[in-house]
Homo-oligomer: A and B are copies of this chain.
Amino acid sequence: MTDRPATNPSKAHAIVTEVRRRIVEREWRQGDRIPDEVELAVEFGVARATVNKALQLLAEEGLLDRKRRAGTHVTVNPARKATLTIPIVREQIEGAGMAYSHRIIAQKHGPAPADIASRMAEAEGTMMIHLRTVHYGDDKPFQVEDRWINPKAAPGAEHVDFQRINPNEWLVRNFPWLRGDIAFSAENADARDARLLETRQGTALLILQRTTWNDQGAITSVRLAFHPGYSMVASP
């Protein structure tokens, strides 16, 4: 597929650089209204669409605030957005140069307890698959995964051999999600976390809770507990 942009990317880039410089060096201060597109197009000697593209990029960066009627202002509190890429755990471990393996500690088919059902917006007692998995890098515990899968939104899950393909990977490969809830927190390892992660009870663990949906309902709800000392990097 060939893209033929209507705008000139290298000129747009030059405008982005110059506008960013004016903001960073506070020639244009926070809250200031900046010149409109037509004025900037004249100043930079480019098409208005190129200015539009450049301002759009700066708005996505959080430096500009664009409103249809009020014009474009320098953001007063630059939105501090950071992007996290939540990797497939096997790829993450292999990407770090370690040998990946996993172990299914428990697998049951049964009714979802109230807190899980509520998190997944399903009726209490909905039949689901409950899996507890440990992911290892070079035979050292990397992550403990406690997961509920809803066969209504992920049909076929009842028949998968999760010893062969880990639940995270099977779901990612088969059930793209449309929306999800993600939250980070810290917990002191309980007795089970400590045993599975081969650490001491009470050790601080980074916890990621995630519930994902497709058009059939909640696919899965998972609690990931990372090994002690793990740090998740975000890119702004």
Contact = CB atoms under 8 A, between A and B. Distances in A.
A81 interface: yes
A135 to B, nearest CB: 16
A231 B184 contact: yes
A52 interface: yes
Contact-size category for A: 35 or more
A85 interface: yes
A86 interface: yes
22 contacts: A1-B67, A1-B68, A6-B6, A21-B215, A24-B178, A26-B174, A63-B176, A76-B173, A77-B173, A81-B86, A82-B182, A84-B84, A84-B234, A180-B236, A181-B233, A184-B206, A185-B232, A186-B207, A186-B230, A188-B202, A188-B203, A188-B204
Interface of A: 1-3, 6, 20-21, 23-24, 26, 30, 36-37, 49, 52, 63, 66-68, 71-72, 75-88, 91, 172-174, 176-188, 202-207, 209, 214-215, 226, 228-236
